[in-house]
Amino acid sequence: MHRTSTPRRRGFSLIELLVVIGIIALLIGILLPVVARVRDSAKAAVCMSNMRQLALATTGYLNDNQYTFPQPHQETGGGYSDEDAGRSLWFNAIDYYLQQTAKDYDRNDTGERNYEQFKQDPVWLDLPEDEPGTTPDRRNMQTIKMNAFFGNSNISTPPSPNNDPVAWFKSTRVPQPGNTVIFVDGRAHDTPSTTSGSIDGTDFNANPTLVAFRHSGGANMTKVDGSVEHQINEIATTGAGYEGWYVENPTNDRELWPDVIFNFRYDVFYP
């Protein structure tokens, strides 16, 4: 009798296993940067979509308010109450036009705000959420900000008539709406400085020095005419050592961002 031999199953050798692991590691190394770029591109696209919604909401606000812009910050004084300042702040004023429930806004009540939709870059959801009043806390972070030159904060211009602390601008007073910035990616806790703890994350307004390089080395910007585009500033580090934005005197904004205008009030001062 002849015994039929059953062929033995041959497993992976150590060398073959290492080769397979090496190939998988190589593929992961190739794919991870691609996936990261796709994810970053998706966030940038959502950010641009949010800014378009802000532009549409602002247009609706202008139509209902004699073509007068809301405030980029919560300036009080001159008879303006905390409630008036809260309601006129752009972050609150355009809620109705974003189909969000309007509230009894008070500049001192940070809980009375709608944060989640449209007014924040998608990166906002990745910021830490701590107890209100602590830092950092994403409920106190503004990742999209309004151009400060639409108000009386962080600007170098002649004073408004009668020293009114609040500057009200009509859309007809913006000489180049297709180039003038109204909303911008603003620096927050996702764009820290390596030399300073001041990141202006809680501010609702920004000037040219406070733009965040959040998306592929640049920033998304909304113009007064409603257009949105991605702008690149090639200077990412200054002599002072700040990284992520270009720190300079805000009056030199046309040197910082030559393709857009922040300080449109160089062209149109108060009458």
206-233 average pLDDT score: 87
Average pLDDT, the chain: 76
Give the number of other CB atoms < 10 A from CB of residue 32.
Answer: 10
Name residues whose C-beta falls within 8 Å of residue 36's C-beta, 6 or more positions apart in sequence. Answer: none
pLDDT tens profile 44-68: 889 999 999 999 999 999 999 999 9
Cα angle 153, 234, 127; round to 5: 60
- Closest Cα partner for 260 from 221, 225, 227? 221
Phi/psi class of residue 133: alpha, beta or left (left: φ > 0; alpha: ψ in -120 to 50)?
Answer: left
pLDDT at 9: 58
pLDDT at 221: 94
Q: State the Cα–Cα distance between residues 101 and 75, nearest whole angstrom.
A: 23
pLDDT at 153: 52
Percent of the chain with pLDDT over 70: 66
pLDDT at 177: 92
At 184, the amino acid letter reads: V
* Residue 3's pLDDT band (cuts 50, 70, 90): low
Q: SS3 helix, strand, coil % of the chain, rounded to 5?
A: 35, 15, 50
Beta bridge partners of 205: 146
Q: State the Cα–Cα distance between residues 240 and 221, nearest whole angstrom.
A: 25
* Residue 34's pLDDT band (cuts 50, 70, 90): low
- The answer to whether the beta carbons of residues 126 and 107 sit under 8 Å apart is no
pLDDT at 14: 73
Higher pLDDT among residues 66 and 154, named by residue: 66
Mean pLDDT is lowest, of 7-16, 55-64, 166-175, 257-266, for: 7-16
Q: Which two tokens stand for residue 57?
A: 């909401």
